[in-house]
Each structure stands twice: as C-alpha cells, then as structure tokens.
Chain A
Amino acid sequence: MMEKEGWIVPYLKENAKLFTIVVILGLLTAFSAAFLMFTSGFLISKAATRPENLLLIYVPIVAVRTFGILRAVSRYSEKLLSHHVILKILSEMRSRLYRTIEPRILKEGAGMKTGNLLGVMAEDIEYLQDVYVKTVFPSIIGVLLYAGAIGMLGSFSWPFAGIMALYGFVLVILFPIISLLMTRQTITKLKSRRSSQYSSLTDGIVGMGDWVFSGQQKTFLQRFEAEDLVICKEEHRRSTFVSYRNFMAQCVVGVIVCAMLIWTGNQSMEGDVARTLIAAFVLIVFPLTEAFLPLSDAISELPGYEDSINRLNELSVAPPSTINDDEENSGWSKSGISCIQVGYQSKDGQQILHGINLDLPQGTKLAILGPSGSGKTTLLKIFQGIYSPSEGSLTRNGIEHVGKETQSPSVSVLNQQPYLFDTSVLNNIRLGKPSATDEEVYEAAKTVHLHDFILSLPEGYQTSMQEAGMRFSGGERQRVALARLLLQDTSIVLLDEPTVGLDPETEQALVSTIFQVLEKKTIVWATHHLVGMKRMDHIVFMDEGRIAMEGKHEELLKTSDRYRKLYELDVPFQLKKESVSRIG
C-alpha cells in the first residue's frame, strides 16, 4: 500500500505528532529570539523614562533573561528532536527499501544486478533525510512565524499589518519561488554536465595508460579543462544569483525597518502606541526577518532531491513478484537433480536453453563447460529454483518443479565473488548457519585450510573484515565462502565459476579443497578451465543453449578434437610420468 505513496509524504503523516513538536520548538526558538530584542528595546526605553519604582522595569528584566535562555534551550531541543525523528524515518525507509528489493534480487530483469546500484540507493535514502532538516522544517516554521507575526501586528493596526504582510510576502513566498524556478533550471543543467564530467573523467583515469602511450594526454587534459570551465561558469551564474537575491532581500528588510519607524512614529504621536514600544517594534524586525531569509535557499534545495526520489519511486512502481515460500522437506535419500527436456525462455522472449536432459543422482559431480553466454549460468539458476523452466520438467530431491520459482533450501551456491560482510571473520563464516557454535565455525575453517591464516590475523576470528579484507586474497575469500557452505550443509552444491580471476596455483589448490570437502554432495560446476575435469563423473559442453557434447574426460579426449585442443592449452607440456611422480 505504501508502495504508491512515495518516499516523503507517508513519513510526514506517520510522524505527525513528533513533527508538530519539532515545529513548535522551532517557532519557540524564533519567537524567543524576537522577543529578546523586543523586551530589550522596551526595557531600555522604559528605563529611559526614569521610573521612580524599579519594580516597573523588573518584569522586562526577567523577560529579557528568560527569552535569552529559552531560545538557547528550545533550539537545542529542536535540533535533537528533529534528528531523532529523522533517524527514526531513516530506519523505517531502510527496512522498506530492503523489503522492496529483497524478493527481486537474482531475478531476471530486476535491473539491479550490481551491488553498486544498491549502494547508490542506500545513499539516496541517507540523502533524503536532509529534505526534512534543510527544507521541510525551516519552510513550515518560516511560514508559521510569518503568519503569527502579521497576526500580532494586526491586533495593533490591520492596515499596517496588511502592508507588512505584503513586504513579508516578498521574503517568505516570492523570493523562494523565484529561486526555485531559477535553480531548477541551473541544477538540471549542472547535474547533466557534472554527470558527463564524472563519466569522462572515470573513462580517462581508467584508460590513463592508453592516453599516456598514445602521447595524447594533453588532448584529454584540455578537454577536461574545457568541460570544467563550462561547469564553473554555470556554478558562477548560480552563486551570482544567490548573492544578488540576498542583497535584494536585505533591501526589503531595510524598507521594512523604515516602514516600521514611520508607523510607530506616527502611532506614538497619536498616542495609539506607547513611546516606550517604538524601540521594541523596530528591533523585533531584525530577528524576525533573519528567520525568513534562509527560506529561499531551503526551497531551492528541492530539485536536488528529485533524482533520488525518482530512483526510489521507479523501484516502487513495479510490484514485487510474489513467491511462495513452501520449503521442501525431503530426505537425503532422494536428493539429486534430473532435467527432462528443460528449456528456458527469458522475459524478453529469447530462448536461452533448449531441450536439456540431465540425470544427476545423489553424489554426482557434473562439470558444465562452454563459452560465456552459452547458458551455463541460466542452467544453474534453474537448478537452484530461482528460474523455473519454461519447458520440460525439473525434479529436485524427488520433487517435481513445474511453473514455480522457489529458491531451494537444499541447494547452496559458491559464485564468482562471494561477498564478505563488514563484521568479524567469525560472523562472516557463521552466516552459513546462524546457530553454529564457535567450535563449529573453527572446524569449518580448519576443513577449508583457513584456520591458521585466520589465527595469524591481529585479532584472530574477531578481526573485522574491513581490516582483514585487504589481507584476503581471491583464493582466501573463496575459502571463507566455502566454509559458509560447509556450515550450510546442503545436499546439492552449485559452483558458478568460483575460480575466475585466480592464478593457476591458487585455482589448483582451491579446486582440490572444494572437491575434498564436498565429497559426498551432488556438485554442479560451471567452469571455464579444464583443471580438475578428470575427477568429474560427467562433463557437459554447452553451446548456444544446447548441450554440444557430453561424456567423461577420457571419452571426450578420445572422441572430440575440440575438447582435445582446449585440453592442450591447459596442459601444454607432456611431462614424463616418472618426473611428475618424483616431484608430487
């Protein structure tokens, strides 16, 4: 329900009470500042009449002190309370964003494959909290203060209050609106310029080597400088506008002061206003207008939030796909996967897989080879239950899955880049099974040959990943993920090219550990190298969504030229058997 309401209004409604208190405190702050000057003006004017009885100025003396202290106190409470509200909203927004994104992750066409985009959204939310502090609160307080001040003045003289309302209108309404219109244009222009500068600079820095070798780095630097100059000019135009606007606003303040002088002068001549109030009325103008002046800047911040809000709204428009969460309860005995004529069509109508037939009884080790884009990853996602086959049938653990997307709890995945969370090493491993004891975690780490390495870290298992992340090489990261997998203890394990980017020695070592520790499980391994093919029960070579060839390593080596050629690249040197055994 909240999905359609956007990212600002619902929170205003929900926290109406707290918002009201913040606004009241804000008003109290502004009123105390104003009345400090008012009562001070009155106090010294009254004193200047040299009253016989000191008690006559006793009340204003107390008032002056009270207002002075009240302002500081109410401002402090306002600031604290407004941050309290905002952080509360932030925490609600975070939960909501998470709930919106969570079901869609890994789904096809979710449009958010990269962790980076998600990071951007998280920052968007963080940024949105500024809307309240910088725009919403000051605007509401400013407008209410304006209404209050005019109302009070009206109790003395409605015509004059009308004139003042007009002047105030210029400061509180007119200038902010003009600013908003002006800055909206420049901000949009600036934003597109700046984002193009971002991408061209990134492009330049990543491709720095090419710029240097081509001897053209001057061209790049000049281009960047020219781009920068345009942005500078645009920013300059904006700051010039702000400077002139502020000056104009001050001129209006000057006029208000003069108007006040003339009105109070005339009123006191006619005896409608006591002469002791002249100073008070004139002095109150300054703190009041001071509260109005920031309104223009507050309102012109608005266009800056548009991008963040749009990004978040886009997310909310598409309804999250519903997934039924029926957990599979199956015994180990039946565990295994079998596909009969499985095909898969992506949402945009592209046929990615055609007629895949595979039968993997419990404990089978299957390797899937093939160039990127051949459908390896899609097949793995079907095994996992994230995609459901559009044709044919898939049986996992003895249960047939037709037409439903259910992430199977009996399947675990080791992918290319397992994420290491910003918490202790211990907790990172424990993610595989949150209820695991410390001993179980140590045991898992020992099994994947990580225990000694972890103990060598400054705080052992308690070392934070932030600190340790630098020391974890690609191979060690995979080992952390493998330890998680051990704790997870599922009957089927999918390996999605976990060794990409590792050097051959590390790859070797990791692959042997993987197969050693997952010996009894059903393994499906998508890979791009032929390392370890000998150990596999079955090898499938995918090409354009079909199984191009399959068999055991020895069979393929005999029957397929293609396979042999590739194998020779991975194993270029025919070593004499005895020399190997001597070393090994």
Chain B
Amino acid sequence: MGKILFLLPNVKKVLLFLMLFTVLQGVATIMQAKWLAEVVTRLFEGEQIKQLSFIISIFLTAFITRHLIKLVLSKTIDHYAAQVASSLKKDALEKCFALGPRYAGKFGTGNLVTLFIDGAKQFRLYVALFLPKLAGMLVVPPLVLIYIWTLDRTSAIILLLTLPILIGFLALLGLAAKKKADKQWSTHRILSNHFVDSLRGLETLKYLGLSRKHARSIKEVSEKYRKSTMGTLRVAFLSSFALDFFTMLGIATVAVFLGLRLVEGEITLMPALTILILAPEIFLPVRELGNDYHATLNGQEAGRKLLEMIHTPDFQQEKAIVPQWSAQDKLAFHYLTVNHEGQEKNSLHRVSFSVKGKKKIGIVGESGSGKTTLIDVLGGFLEGDEGSIEINGEVMTHLKKTEWQKQLYYMPQHPHLFHDTLANNIRFYQPDASMEAVERAVEAAGLKEVVALLPNGLNEKIGEGGRELSGGQAKRVALARAFLEERSILLLDEPTAQLDVETEYEIKKKILPLFKDKLVFMATHRLHWMMEMDFILMLEKGEIVESGTHQELMARRGSYYHMVCLQMEGVS
C-alpha cells in the first residue's frame, strides 16, 4: 500500500522531516517514561514528594514536549496533505478540461464531481493519516526496543518476538477477511443495493401494483443483508482482535517476567517500571496503522484515479494555422479512424470527405453508426487514431485548435443551462454583450413569449435550482446564444430530437435563418432537415457508405433511400 504516495511532490522531504521529528518524539517518550519510573521508584523507596519536585517537573516537561512535537507534526502534515490534495485536484481538473467533454463523459458527471470533491478530501485524509503513521512505525518501535535492550534484554526479546507475530497475524487475518468478502461480494452488493434500488424504482413498482407487497421484501432482504454482513464482520474484526490480543499478551508477559525476576533480584524496580510504561508504545503505531487501514482505502483509490487523470496523454501538439473560415477555405478528412477501446460501436473507420466554403452538411445514420463521434472530431474533442485532417493543405490529427474552436458554435442534443440569469446564459460566450444585443437574440430565437412570462424577465435565474425550462425552451436559449455570437461554423447534434412535433416545427423555423453564410454540420435522425442540406454523409458502422445531395442519394436507391423508406413507411 502507499505506492502512489511516492509520486507526490516533495514527499521524500516531508517524510524525512516527519521521521526526524518522530525520532525526537520517540526520545521524549523514552525520557518521560524514564523519569516517571524514577519518581515512582523513589516514592516507593520512601522519599518525600517535595524532594522529587525537580524530577516531576522534568517528567512533565518531557511529557509536554512529546505532545508539542506531535502538534508540530500534525500541523505540518495537515498543511502538506491539504496542499497536495488541492494541487492534485486542480491539475486533474485542468487536464479534464483540456481533454474535453468527450473524456469527461466517459466518467459520468456525477462520478467526476464526486472524485474532485469527495475523492480529493478522502485522499487528503489518507495522506494526513498514513504518512505520520508510516514514520511512526518505522521509527518508534526500533527506538524504544533499543532503549529497552539497554535496560533488560529478556523484555526486549519478548517484545521483539511479539511484534512480527502481531504483524503476521494482521496480514493473515486481513487476507482471510478479504477473501471472504470477495467471495460474498456479488450477493453482498445486491443485498446492500436492494433498498436504494427499490426506492429508485418505486414508481415502476407502483405502476405494477407491487409497491405495497414489496415492503415485506424490504424487511426480508435487510435481514439477509444483516446476516451476510455479520458473517463478513466476524472475520474482519478478528484482525483487530489479534492486534489487541497479542499486544495485551505481550505486555502481560513482560510484566509477569519482570515480576518474577524482581523477586529473584535480577532486576531493580526502576528499569522494570520504565519497561512496563514503554511496552505499549511499541505496539501503538502498528495498531493505529491497522485501525486506519480500511478508513484510508477510499482515499488511496481516489488519489490513484486523480494521478491517472493527470498522466493521461494530451492531444498531440501540432502547429497548424486555421484561417477565419471563408468561401475559399477547404476542410478535408483523409481516411480518418477513431477507435473506442473495446467497442465496435461509435467508432469511425477510414472516413474521407471534403468541404469547401460555407456548405451545409447533413450527417445521417442509425444510432451507434458514428454520427456523434464525427461531430466530436469536428468540435475538437476527439483525436484521430489514424489518417489525417487537412485544412487548406495543412495536415493535422485533431481540431482542438483555439482558432478553430473560437469560430465554432456547438449546439448539443441537450444544451446546458448554467445556474445564472437568463440574460447571462444567453451572453455566456460574450459576457460583455449589451442588453440590447441580448434582446435581439431573444427575439430571433423566439424566446420573447417565454421571457414575458417570467416574473423577472431576462434576470430570472435558470438552470439547476433556478426556474425549470422545458426542453424546447432550453433549445431556444442555446439558439439565442448562437444568434448573439455570430460564429462562422455551426455544429448541431440532433437539434430537434426529443421535442414534440409542434415545438420541433417552431424551432426549425428559427434555426434556418441561422444557417445563412455559415459552414454547418448537422447530425440528425429527423430527415426533414435533409431538404436544407447541400450535402449528406450517410454513415453505417463508422464508415461513410454514401454521400451526395438528397436527390442524388434518393435516385441511387441505396442505404439512404432504404432508411427514408423505412421511416416513411410507418407513418404514411
């Protein structure tokens, strides 16, 4: 465990510092024990307490010094852990943004947010707990053992023998518990998920008329869950039982041996007491490490994920000049291939086409044929694995170029509304746009009636937690953004899917004027759009199987024609 820790910045320095201070702490611990034993022994021998005030005060000093060092240690490590966790979080987030939404989509938004916020917090806890305990385990037991060795070899040997037994049992039982947990994992997961699953699916249960009866099954499954968990815990707790048992047994054995040898007169009270006071200190770091082990597993995992994200290779660095798009510019794909790991679906295979000037390109094909992947490549979110992209003769592997992305407007299937006012959402790309410009965009996108209905008009808060807008209204907000922004390239991914026909009709009327004087790529299933396209790319399993105008493709009676017929058949 803890391999990833050594990838952290400055970790060696910090560990060295921790070890040094832990040595000091160890020395203070030994001194404190020695002087406490001395006070007790001299009281035992009948000395007046007043004569001992000096030794008592130096005991107290050693005791307080020990905890003062602990304070310094914990403050240092807290600071370091916080720093490391937040810099890791920052780097990973930056990388995530650099790699774009496609990369983020692989994780899922929820998982990413949890990783960045909770994961980073757990990682911080892991660093803060693990490093000082590692230092403690490396330093304290040897130091104390050496000191005990100088006082009494027998005790040192007993303690020395107990230590490996302790660690051995810890590992052995930990392994057994893990094995048992692994064996039960799948049943355990189902049982523990059952309740959440039932609540999430309650609506469906209700529709099926099963919801009332299901209460009984909740009870039964919870009981099963309890039994199965207890089975695992019985084994899991054995490891801490072994820790306790051997620690206590070790101390007890030392005490008994000391007692017997005191009777024989082979040792005096003072060293015996010192050893007795010090004995628990040897086991303390090991026990702490064992107790925290499970608590820190999540943090370790989160740290690994964050580091992995940071080390994900970025897109290739390329220098290529992307022009401000005009009627003379030319974009071409040459045998571009994009592979998704282990997934035939959604890949692109040797895709070639070229566009000159401000054409309108329709991209059609079945679900999973690669439409969205092609849109993502065009948006600069994905890099080609093989083949190339060419703009006016300059060859590149991806379009993640600021000059390209800056003149591009992308309207996804579900436009995101930020938690902000409607006006700020519309001028998201141009925060300093005037209110008049925003109002013009509102007009053009057909949002005027919507704005009129909002109590605060354009200043109404929308997005998560704000006023909820319907799918059609969200599309219109995205449309207003596009009108305000006037970019020369337009990427649309299913702009009107999921809308009811009537809304679709209204929105289409508003989108069409936007196409004027722009290079447009539109991926869609809704074929009525094809009448507005200059050129259609028909995708099938990641390959362009046909291309041409609607009339050409219909006349050809190939895949496109077949798809049109299939769609029309059900309705006409």
- Tell whether A pairs with B: yes
A569 touches B501 (CB 8 A): yes
* Chain A CB within 10 A, most for which of B43, B112, B367, B471: B43
A65, B39: Cβ atoms closer than 8 Å:
no
The reply to whether the CB of B504 lies closer than 8 angstroms to some CB of chain A is yes
* Given A199-B464, A504-B525, A571-B572, CB of A279 within 8 Å of CB of B199: no
Among the 9-residue stretches A94-102, A143-151, A338-346, the one with 4 or more Cβ atoms under 8 Å from chain B is: A94-102
Docked-complex contact A583 and B562, CB < 8 angstroms? yes
Docked Cα-Cα span, A369 to B189, in Å, equals: 43
The answer, yes or no, to whether A1 is at the interface (CB within 8 Å) is: no
Write out the residue numbers on chain A whose beta carbons fall within 8 Å of the beta carbon of B410: 209, 213
Q: Contacts A506-B367, A572-B528 given; indicate if A101 touches B202 (C-beta within 8 A).
A: yes
Size category, A interface: 35 or more
A412 touches B89 (CB 8 A): no
Q: Chain B residues with Cβ under 8 A from A529's Cβ?
A: 500-501
Interface stretch, picked from B8-16, B135-143, B204-212, B314-322, is B204-212
A310 on interface, CB distance cutoff 8 Å: no
| B541: interface (CB < 8 Å) | no
Stretch at the interface among B217-225, B443-451, B514-522: B217-225
A102-B206, A501-B497 given; name 4 further pairs at CB < 8 Å.
A61-B259, A79-B233, A246-B74, A412-B208
A512's partner among B186, B230, B265, B570 (CB-CB below 8 A) is B570
Residues of A within 8 A of B204 (CB): 415, 418-419, 421, 431, 481
Interface residues of A in 569-584 (CB under 8 A from B): 569-573, 575, 579-580, 583-584
Among B379, B406, B568, the residue within 8 A (CB) of A209 is B379
- Smallest distance from the beta carbon of B306 to chain A beta carbons, Å? 14
CB distance from A436 to the nearest CB of B (A): 12
Question: Across the interface, do B196 and A119 meet the contact criterion of CB distance under 8 Å?
Answer: yes
Interface flag for A462 (CB, 8 Å) = no
8 sample A-B contacts, Cβ–Cβ < 8 Å, listed by A number = A76-B238, A87-B226, A115-B201, A250-B70, A254-B64, A262-B49, A508-B566, A566-B505
Instruction: Give the distance to chain A from B410, nearest Cβ to Cβ, in Å.
Output: 6
Also in contact, A48 and B564, with CB within 8 A (given A209-B410, A251-B64, A278-B43): no
The answer to whether residues A265 and B86 also contact, given A123-B196, A565-B505 and a CB cut-off of 8 A, is no
A-B pairs with beta carbons under 8 A, tally: 431
Question: How far is it, in angstroms, between the C-alpha of A533 and the C-alpha of B571 when the chains are bound?
Answer: 7
A47 to B262, Cβ gap below 8 A? yes
Q: Is B52 an interface residue (CB 8 A)?
A: yes
List residues 518-572 of chain B with CB under 8 A from any CB of chain A: 525-528, 530-531, 554, 562-572
Which residue of B has the minimal Cβ distance to A467? B186
The 3 residue pairs across chains A and B that have the minimum distance between CB atoms: A91-B222, A528-B500, A419-B201
Residue of A nearest to B57 (CB): A258
A399 at interface, CB cutoff 8 A: no
* Alpha-carbon separation in the docked complex, A258 to B54 (Å): 12
Among B68, B117, B208, B213, residue most surrounded by chain A Cβ atoms (within 10 Å): B208
Q: Among B78, B189, B571, which residue has its beta carbon within 8 angstroms of that of A534?
A: B571
Instruction: Give Cα A3 to B572, complex, Å.
Output: 58
| Minimal Cβ-Cβ distance residue in A for B112 | A205
Q: Determine if B455 is an interface residue (Cβ-Cβ < 8 Å).
A: no
Please tell me if the beta carbons of B245 and A72 are within 8 angstroms of each other in the complex: yes
Chain A residues in 8 Å Cβ range of B49: 261-262, 265-266, 269
Bound: A530/B497 CA distance, A: 14
B353, CB-defined interface residue at 8 Å: no
Q: Which of B203, B248, B269, B276 contacts A115 (CB under 8 A)?
A: B203
Q: What's the Cα separation between A566 and B406 when bound, in Å? A: 36
User: A464 contacts which chain B residues (CB < 8 A)?
Assistant: 186, 190
